[in-house]
Structure 1
Amino acid sequence: MRASSMSQPNPTSQSVVQTWVDSSHLQGMLRGIERESLRMQGNGFLSQKPHPAGLGSALTHSRITTDYSEALMEFITPPKETITEVLAELTEIHAVVQRHLDQDEKLWPLSMPCMLDDEEEQIPLAYYGTSNIGRFKTLYRRGLGVRYGRRMQTISGVHYNLSFPDALFELLQQHESDDTLKQLSLQDYRSHRYFGLIRNFIRLTPLVIFLVGASPSVCRCFLTGREHNLQPLIKGTMYLPDATALRMGRLGYQNSAQKKLGIHYNDLHGYLEGLQNAVKTSYAPFSDLGLNDEQGQPIQINDHILQIENEYYSLVRPKQVPQPGETPSDALKNRGVGYVELRAVDVNPYSPIGIDETTAGFLEALALYCLLTESPALETDEQDRIERNQTEVVNRGRAVDAQIETAQGFISVQEWAKQHVLAMQECANLLDQYYQTTLYQDALDEMQQRIDQSKSALSAQVVQDTLKHGGTWSFGSVLAEQHAQTYTQYPLSAEKLAYFKQLAQQSLQQQYQLEQESSVSFEDYLAQFR
């Protein structure tokens, strides 16, 4: 099939894994996880308490921080060599956090939030202290609230970070038939291949949503003041009968301004250029909101399409670890893509840590498949088609007549998913060979089962259990209680506890130093940035 007519990575074409690739080329592959979870009170409402003091500073702690709301915790693992190690690390972080939560507080297990007050002011913004950088981070979140409403800031997800070793990129480059690609520096070639992975992941996002989506319903309180097409499932809970991941649809993170950006993923240069334009371009609806309130206090960083780069909400991001003083874009420009962040993943409510090895194995096999499969440029018409596919799978992915639109016509979601999971087998085998496990093949077997029997999909289970327990809040509370028991029973060694205590103390020290060093007033600091 010619590249120009290819819409999806073509699952029926020849083998994805070339004969010259063997499992040893995966040595040095790394993965890390970021997991978000709301702190909730015993009565199910969002916690109004500050970030637990015993956990240190949310501004400077490397493992435990907050995201948008003060109540939205974020747990970050360092990169690890195996799935087993990364999940163990994430479990440890949860166990440590549990020991510092208030008596009546628990971690909410679902992507969509627990009971929210009618008043958005009851959703507290994350607070990072009095340093300029800390105040800047809080102002950014205040701006998000003004622009999109604070309810958006209570949605949780899982981000899966993945990097492949340079040995694999060197091998792929040696076998390129295009001389231009052969001439690239390793850094540029690596970025080129990661962008190919990103484009294919975008094409296959409906597959991720279909297989690991777990937000088919929402608490009615989340919909206050919003137009929607959801139906009542049971008292206090709204849903769509065949939905998979409402978090990934219109009710999730959406930014109408971003639609017009035309940020594309065809190469690093174009991507960075699009991002820079957005960070520098005013947008009338945001200008109308004003920069400051009546008291002269700033309410958003600026009136641009994006206040800062991180506001660009995407399904997958090219990433590079920034050095001190670098923006994410600078890091990418200076050192190329170092890893990818897969962001289309719902929290798995049945796992105490929000993700299990089945999802992890599936995502890694999928990422390798996306890397090794041909990946033509992503043009506007295909992008529009992908968005229609995503909407279809979000709202009615489990319906028997749900369809995926390709350049060649329509195909049933089940058939399309089956073709890709089958084509991913070779990648799973390669990973299993390298890690001497059956984890990856087992993960694909489980996904195949979810395709064959839609009742076994996570989203179907969530609907069933919400009904069984009498509503979202009751269902979430039962799981939150079970997970809390798991964390409490998890054995933490004295060394481990001492290590986390030290991290907390160091982070508080770092925050204190930042607060002492602020020689410029915040007004001047902000004026400089603006």
Structure 2
Amino acid sequence: MNQPSTLSSSVIPTWIDASLFKGMLRGIERESLRMQSNGFLSQKNHPKALGSALTHPHITTDYSEALMEFITTPQTTIAAALNELRDIHSVVHQQLEDGERLWPLSMPCMLDDNEENIKLAQYGTSNIGRFKTLYRRGLGVRYGRRMQTISGVHYNLSFPDQLFASLQQHESNPELKQLSPQDYRSHRYFGLIRNFIRLTPLVMYLLGASPSVCRCFLTGREHHLQPLVKGTLYLPEATALRMGRLGYQNSAQKELGIHYNDLHDYLDGLQKAVHTPYPEFTNLGLNDEQGEPIQINDHVLQIENEYYSLVRPKQVPQAGETPSQALKDRGVGYVELRAVDVNPYSPIGIDETTAGFLESLALYCLLNESPDLFADEQEQIDQNQTEVVNRGRAADARIVVGQTTVPFQDWAQRHLNAIQACAVMLDQVDGTPLYQDAVQVMQQRLNHVEDTLSAHVITDTLQHGGTWSFGSVMAQQHVGSYDQHRLSTERKKYFEQLAQTSLQKQAQLEQDHHMSFEQYLAQYR
């Protein structure tokens, strides 16, 4: 069983210098449900004053009309990324009506018994807009709409070209030395991805904040949870139920065998999934009794984005490109770390500590040796994730490493020690203690289980008498934070202009009548 063996601070080569990290970029995507004042999911349309969810670069929707997604631009510092995210939250909050608020937890607010009341996101009458809504209808038909109300944080990160150039220069393997800069960069990012997958149990323990869930989320589903307090279910030592079998799961995808051992393999696996029919989805049919389409196709994946993964290789697509085409043509440009729960104690769902830790972890994953990752090891990782999702805070939590089973605490400590050295290196870039401070907080969470976010969530849910009450109290506290956040006149104008421009762009797309939606869909199918 291949497991990275180097677990000391020697993961950083002696020749690496802090100047190589100048120009790192990070961006954040945060999802949040709009909640009515009575605690139930909003039934209102996306606020028109915020512009078009189809074409706005910062404020859009994810699965449902009520599930908002906020996207920052790539920023040169963590502080700048978090500040832009604060701006977006403040702008959105000002346009919410009738006492609506942003729900602060990864697991959803109150849902009623009728799944149809989880309204699909609407993007207007253009072909691309209708296609996006149909994709969501397909997700609902395949996996149920409740699953699509879960929120997360995605952390996008890219390292500078000069770092990859130096790494390639110091390679001892002649084949790696001969790769083009683009291919070498992709090779290193895939190494990062494999190691991040191996280390997701650590992320779930340290950043997991979904140990409990409103009973309404599990209506009609079998589950293994216990009652915590009226209306709330939990597991006593859980960390991140969002990342377990109650969260985003897809048995069809598990059979895909998509590997992260190199870019071409990965893209081949993805393409196969997008073009292979899946009997269970074929049985659902493509259209309803009225002849209206209910899913894009009957394939394992309707489109590439349906592939649920903990981390994704990404490249910014150009007009008309699919994510795969962008990766194929220009290689991996950045990674999207997706295993992160929303932090309910932060008004913007993420704080400096989480960001600093994720970047230190990503550097560790990039520099550490990263053998190929095959099905047998992946099975172990899945077992480890399940253990930490359900029992991560248990004193006897254990995970499998190669041929042995080890206490989770020991395994986590070894990795955290090595991540510390990466934090020291990143702090040298800007002369701040941010990264080491972040790792120190994580050390505290490892040493004292009661300091984990998941433990705090359980304590506060009990104190407030349930998930809804706890979430409502936090949502109200965050309102104060949005109100206090001052937008400059320039930033206000920027967001007003974007809202207008996005609506104009949507209107232009809707004027294009050269092909009916039926033809458009038939062409895609």
TM-score after normalising by structure 2:
0.99
The reply to whether residue 368 of structure 1 matches residue 363 of structure 2 is: yes
| Partner Cα separation in structure 1 for residue 163 and residue 107 of structure 2 | 38
Task: Determine the structure 2 residue equivalent to 1:481.
Answer: 476
Task: Determine the structure 1 residue equivalent to 2:201.
Answer: 206
| Partner Cα separation in structure 2 for residue 523 and residue 242 of structure 1 | 50
Segments of 5+ residues of structure 1 without an aligned counterpart are: none
Matches within 5 A, 1:86-97: 86-97=81-92
SS at match of 1:318: strand
SS at match of 1:99: helix
The reply to whether residue 18 of structure 1 matches residue 13 of structure 2 is: yes
Within the candidate set 290, 314, 319, 1:319 is matched to 314
Q: Which amino acid in the other structure matches residue 214 of structure 2?
A: C
Within the candidate set 231, 239, 247, 2:234 is matched to 239
Within the candidate set 417, 442, 449, 2:444 is matched to 449
Task: Determine the structure 1 residue equivalent to 2:2.
Answer: 6
| Partner Cα separation in structure 2 for residue 91 and residue 13 of structure 1 | 37
Structure 1 contact 56–507 (Cα < 8 Å) conserved? yes
Within the candidate set 312, 327, 337, 1:342 is matched to 337
Identity, % of aligned positions: 74
Decide which moves more: 487-496 or 32-41. Answer: 487-496
Task: Determine the structure 1 residue equivalent to 2:120.
Answer: 125
Decide which moves more: 515-524 or 272-281. Answer: 515-524
SS at match of 1:159: strand
Task: Determine the structure 2 residue equivalent to 1:217.
Answer: 212
Segments of 5+ residues of structure 2 without an aligned counterpart are: none
Structure 1 contact 48–122 (Cα < 8 Å) conserved? yes
| Partner Cα separation in structure 2 for residue 426 and residue 6 of structure 1 | 23
Shift in Å at residue 368 of structure 1? 0.2
Decide which moves more: 347-356 or 517-526. Answer: 517-526
Within the candidate set 36, 47, 50, 1:52 is matched to 47
| Partner Cα separation in structure 1 for residue 436 and residue 213 of structure 2 | 33
| Partner Cα separation in structure 2 for residue 518 and residue 167 of structure 1 | 47
- Assess, with a 3 A threshold, how the Cα gap between structure 1 residues 30 and 14 changes in structure 2: closer, same or farther: closer
Within the candidate set 495, 502, 513, 2:508 is matched to 513
Shift in Å at residue 323 of structure 1? 0.2
Question: Runs ≥4 in structure 1, deviation > 2 angstroms?
Answer: 9-14
Shift in Å at residue 495 of structure 1? 1.4
Shift in Å at residue 11 of structure 1? 5.1
Shift in Å at residue 415 of structure 1? 1.1
Deviations 1:439-472 (A, max 9, x none): 1000000000000000000000000000000000
| Partner Cα separation in structure 1 for residue 441 and residue 2 of structure 2 | 28
Shift in Å at residue 413 of structure 1? 1.0
Q: Which amino acid in the other structure matches residue 5 of structure 2?
A: N
Within the candidate set 353, 361, 364, 1:358 is matched to 353
SS at match of 1:424: helix
Shift in Å at residue 334 of structure 1? 0.2
- Assess, with a 3 A threshold, how the Cα gap between structure 1 residues 20 and 40 changes in structure 2: closer, same or farther: same
Q: Which amino acid in the other structure matches residue 485 of structure 1?
A: G
Q: Which amino acid in the other structure matches residue 347 of structure 1?
A: V
Structure 2 contact 2–372 (Cα < 8 Å) conserved? no
Structure 2 contact 30–70 (Cα < 8 Å) conserved? yes
Count how many residue pairs are aligned between Structure 1 and Structure 2.
525
Structure 2 contact 12–421 (Cα < 8 Å) conserved? yes
- Assess, with a 3 A threshold, how the Cα gap between structure 1 residues 461 and 416 changes in structure 2: closer, same or farther: same
Structure 1 contact 11–423 (Cα < 8 Å) conserved? no
Shift in Å at residue 230 of structure 1? 0.1
| Partner Cα separation in structure 2 for residue 254 and residue 474 of structure 1 | 28
Structure 1 contact 11–419 (Cα < 8 Å) conserved? no
Within the candidate set 144, 152, 172, 1:149 is matched to 144
Task: Determine the structure 2 residue equivalent to 1:465.
Answer: 460
| Partner Cα separation in structure 2 for residue 519 and residue 486 of structure 1 | 47
| Partner Cα separation in structure 1 for residue 479 and residue 165 of structure 2 | 46
SS at match of 1:506: helix
Deviations 1:253-306 (A, max 9, x none): 000100000000000000000000000000000000000000000000000000
Q: Which amino acid in the other structure matches residue 16 of structure 1?
A: V
Task: Determine the structure 2 residue equivalent to 1:434.
Answer: 429
| Partner Cα separation in structure 1 for residue 460 and residue 32 of structure 2 | 20
| Partner Cα separation in structure 2 for residue 496 and residue 329 of structure 1 | 34
Task: Determine the structure 2 residue equivalent to 1:389.
Answer: 384
Structure 2 contact 196–362 (Cα < 8 Å) conserved? yes
| Partner Cα separation in structure 1 for residue 273 and residue 171 of structure 2 | 34
Shift in Å at residue 489 of structure 1? 1.4
Deviations 1:180-223 (A, max 9, x none): 00000000000000000000000000000010000000000000
SS at match of 2:95: coil
| Partner Cα separation in structure 2 for residue 62 and residue 455 of structure 1 | 39
